[in-house]
Amino acid sequence: MALAPLGTLDLSVVTDRLIAMLTNCINASSLWATLDPTSSSPKPTFSIAVSGAMPETTRKDSGCTLSICLLHVSADKFNRNFVAIPSAPPPQRALQIPEQPLSLDLFYLLTVFDADNSYAYEQQAMSIALKCFYEHPIVRVAVPIPPAPQTVQEDFTLTMEVQTSDDVARLWQSITAPYRLSAFYKVSVVFMTPPAPAQAKQAVRFSLAVDPASIPFSASGQVIGTSSTQTFTSPHSTVALPEIVNSDYSPAVVAPGQSLYLYGAGLNGPTSSQVYLLLPPDYRVEQEVTSWKGLPTSLQTNSRIVLQLPATIGALPAQAPTPGIYQLRVGSGSLNRTNSTPFSIASRVDVSIAPPNPPLLPGGPSYTVTGEGFATGQTQVLLETVPLEENSVPGPGKFTVKTPQSIGFTIPLGLASGMYALRIRVNQVETPPGWWVKV
């Protein structure tokens, strides 16, 4: 079973770390310099053994024994619904038991016993322990988790617990050993290592299908929106590892020669068989474009009309309009008209490199891009976020609309090395991704 890289499987790991901490503090304590001031390198003046056993067990040992024993365990109420944040996206979903880690508070009894009944030794040993725990409030443990040699760095807080004399008396009454000098400490929060959650793969694409059966006022037809899908190749694509990206646009963004969907209800009926394009700027002038429904009739339904723009720009409806924002509606004759819905027409950028090869624009530092719909004075060209200046005279950082089917540009001087997406906008409508330029 795979385990999550969190917490510990063995509580004794925490106890062993506390024992090691006390042992180090005893060996390095400044107390020895006061007890043996004549020594140039003070060492412990008496032996102190550190144990993780219960007090009645250590009563049989000789010498002075400092005991740090795990006495009680309780659930940490502040972390019962704790969910570990993953080291990389995607974020985790809510987990079920046992994948939810068990959060614990560990309560330790710190006590000391000297077999020779020396109160001085007991109090000196306790002094070292109290000072040690006070100066080390954070306990850091390298916890082993299968498979070996994997370890996880865990940090716990170590705090002294406030206990009344009555609480302490009742506690010692439950222990067979006689009452001795003691203190109580809490170690928190300790997580018990849960199994690794089995997560489904992250969704890379999802679709919502809508087929309205009844929309108010749809008896004669009604439109509700447009959509389109653009496909382009990533600049990091290779034959071995192809990266073909599909991007959905709603409202639709299409270039000459591309298709879009017009959605609604009561479509392709006697009163909604014709398609009308509303022209900017005021969208009061309409142009019938029913001829754009040139695809198989099986794709045309009462909730969808599929349209394909002509491949060139020119006179409607035989050719596509210039790039910009338009509206569509349906109807028939001179009276029946539905509401309208927007979509955008972008310029077309032709990519001559076949996928899955990366679409890196050949040339440099001067480049030429071909397509359809470029217009002087209405076109913007950017390399990522770096705008280029339109100018009829070629030069670094400038571009020229040579023809409605061609643009030439030169990269700016001093542009940092890297991969830049070529962005072209005409009449504020940006063309979907096509070329990348490697500088």
CATH number of the domain that 263 lies in?
Answer: 2.60.40
Asked if residue 417 is part of any domain, the answer here is yes
Which DSSP letter does residue 217 get? Answer: T
Q: Flag whether 178 is in a domain.
A: yes
Which pLDDT value is given to residue 133? 95
Q: Residues 368, 406: one domain?
A: yes
Q: For 101-136, what is each residue's pLDDT tens digit?
A: 889 999 999 999 998 889 999 999 999 999 999 999
- Asked whether residue 70 falls in the same domain as residue 158, the answer is yes
Residue 69: alpha-carbon gap to chain centroid = 42
Task: Please check whether residues 312 and 357 belong to one and the same domain.
Answer: no
Tell me, yes or no, whether 330 and 426 share the same domain: no
Per the listing, tokens 């008396």 go with 169
Residues 236 and 368 in one domain: no
| Residues 25 and 143 placed together within one structural domain of the fold | yes
Is 3 a domain residue? no
Highest mean pLDDT: which range of 58-72, 73-87, 338-352: 338-352
The residue range of the domain holding 397 is 349-438
For residue 395, being part of any structural domain is answered with yes
The verdict on whether omega for the bond into residue 42 sits within 30 degrees of 0, i.e. cis, is: no
101: which 2 tokens?
């880690």
In a domain, 102, yes or no: yes
Number of domains in the chain: 3
> Which of 137, 109, 131, 113 shows the shortest CA–CA distance to 25?
131
Q: What pLDDT score was predicted for residue 100? A: 77
Tell me, yes or no, whether 105 and 246 share the same domain: no
pLDDT at site 386: 95
Domain annotation covers residue 208: no
Answer with the residue of higher pLDDT: 146 or 356.
356
Residue 269 CA neighbour count, 13 Å, CB half: 16
Assigned domain for 353 exists: yes
313 and 397 fall within a common domain = no
Mention every residue, 6+ apart, whose C-beta is less than 8 A from residue 186. Answer: 105, 106, 107, 108, 157, 158, 159, 160, 161
Max alpha carbon distance in the chain (Å)? 115
- Give yes or no: residues 27 and 139 share one domain: yes
State how far the alpha carbon of 244 is from the alpha carbons of 172, 236, 374, in Å. Answer: 71, 10, 26
According to DSSP, the residues that pair with 227 across neighbouring strands are 261
End residue of a domain, out of 144, 172, 192: 192
Percent of the chain with pLDDT over 70: 91
Residue 54 pLDDT grade (very low, low, confident, very high; cuts 50, 70, 90)? confident
pLDDT in tens, 307-316: 999 999 999 9
Residue 176 CA to residue 258 CA, distance in Å, equals 88
Per-residue pLDDT, 232: 94
| CATH number for the domain harbouring residue 429 | 2.60.40.10
Distances (CA, A) of 82 to 76, 99, 189, 311, 395: 10, 11, 11, 57, 60
Distances in Å between the alpha carbon of 3 and those of 9, 86, 101, 141, 236?
Answer: 10, 14, 11, 18, 34
Cα(239)–Cα(169) distance, rounded to whole angstroms? 77
Is the separation of the CB atoms in 66 and 50 below 8 Å? yes
Decide: 135 and 28 in contact? Cβ < 8 Å.
no
pLDDT at position 370 over 90: yes
pLDDT, residue 178, reads: 77
- Whether residue 50 is found in the same domain as residue 33: yes
pTM above 0.75, yes or no: no
Question: Would the pLDDT of 243 be above 70?
Answer: yes
Half-sphere exposure of 395 (CA within 13 A, CB side): 5
Q: Mean pLDDT of all residues in the chain? A: 88
Say how far apart CA 128 and CA 105 lie, in whole Å: 24
Residues 326 and 290 in one domain: yes
* 130 and 243 within one domain: no
Q: What value, to the nearest 5°, has the Cα angle with vertex 379 and ends 378 and 384?
A: 145
Domain final position from 310, 345, 380: 345
Count of beta carbons in the 10 Å neighbourhood of residue 174: 7
**pLDDT for residue 80 is more than 90:** no
pLDDT of 236 above 90: yes
Q: Is 67 a residue whose pLDDT tops 70?
A: yes
